[in-house]
Amino acid sequence: MDKRIFVAIFACAFLGACEPQETQTSPSESGLPGQAIDAAHTLENSLSWVGVYEGTVPGANSAIHILLTLGDDKKYSISYQYVDKGNEIFTDSGAFQWNEAENTIILDSKDLPPHYRVGEGVLTQLDMSGNPITGEHADSYVLKKTVRE
């Protein structure tokens, strides 16, 4: 009987040793948030953000059609038209800068919402303080990159 107990214990120990072991990785090994990011790898130099972006966003009294051009010299030009308010097109231009996190551009405009979050082929308009717009129409504040000649 002692022999059977010894064999049973040995078998359990052997089988337990054969189970796959979970390996723990640190965030930097797994690519999860918290990973140390190479200082040279930022949205500013990793995405193709230079170009023309277009979209129609909600406004207080009328939707606004926006055409925003970003240059690699950190200059912008923007034209916008109130969809239900006639044919007048307003324009503005100037410089922009990247925020500290380097995921948002900030136009030097005093009259227009200056903050746009940069994504792959899109700019998402943020509120005047640089926060994401929330609410029923939050998904409507997106300008898509277009091909223009």
Q: Check residue 123 and give its pLDDT.
A: 97
For 60-100, the pLDDT digits (tens) are 899 999 999 999 999 999 999 999 988 999 999 999 999 99
User: 1: which 2 tokens?
Assistant: 């009987």
pTM score over 0.85: no
Helices assigned H by DSSP within 25-146? 27-30, 43-46
Select from 103, 105, 71, 76 the least CA-distant residue to 92: 76
Could you give the domains of the chain? 43-146 (2.40.128.640)
Give the separation between CA 96 and CA 44, rounded to whole angstroms.
Answer: 12
